[in-house]
Amino acid sequence: MLDACPGLCVVSNVAVGYNNLDLAACTRAGIVATNTPDVLTDATADHAWALLMAAARRVVESDRWTRAGNWRGFALDAFLGAEVHGATLGILGMGRIGQAIARRAQGFSMRVIYHNRTALPPDPARPDGPQWVEKAELLRSADFLVLLVPYSPATHHAIGAAELAQMKPTAILVNIARGGVVDDAALVAALQSGRPGGAALDVMENEPHIHPGLLDLENVVLTPHIGSATHTARRGMVTLAVRNLDDALAGRRPVAFLNPEVWERRRRYGI
């Protein structure tokens, strides 16, 4: 596509993730590539919590059951869910959104553990703050595991059968990163076998085509890639994308650059 567009000078992506762009090809062709970070951080963090709570307390499952006319009265053991307060929250990928999710966990008195390629600098004001652990420990210890790594060849199926087998049978997996980070076929098999205990997914492999096994499971909450879908966040994303585009076309350095080497090359040679 890029080869067929010799006049193209900027691609302004309306998203934080950019695995939909061939960034290396853009850079080779001298095409500026931009994205929209920051403006959707809080909206996406909120949606992660919406998914987590919905899965923990079986909100969607009990809603369907109630709408179907099955409710006949109170039952002590009806739709027993997972306790969120005081549980261990695991975060795989502690970037802006991961840190926003961790801040929200304070209100639930949760222990927060995370795994990144590198640990965050310690916060002296929060000695009991998020704790870096090895990935294996994250999988073993998390009651709720939220995935936030960007999608790349290195993170393809970062959560597969081997990783799922290490999780607690009561654990809940939340994916708001990208489809393909989780092996959805392996997830279906794992959920059917009872480890982990549930999942909540905003992104799926090959979306919008969903693995049919996910649709048959009651212990799965599904949303159609709407992590940033608030009026405020989406308006902010579009505004930033337009600003990036306008700046690039006007010869100003865009706010959110994915390949700054292109800009330096243009500046150096007066392109």
Residues known to be catalytic: 178, 207, 225
What tokens does 250 get?
A: 């006007």
> Which residues have C-beta within 8 Å of that of residue 189, sequence separation ≥ 6?
161, 213
> Which residues have C-beta within 8 Å of that of residue 197, sequence separation ≥ 6?
82, 168, 169, 170, 171, 172, 219
What tokens does 59 get?
A: 């909100």
Closest-CA residue to 196 (of 160, 164, 174): 164
CA–CA dist 161, 159 (Å, integer): 7
Q: Are 131 and 155 in contact (CB under 8 A)?
A: no
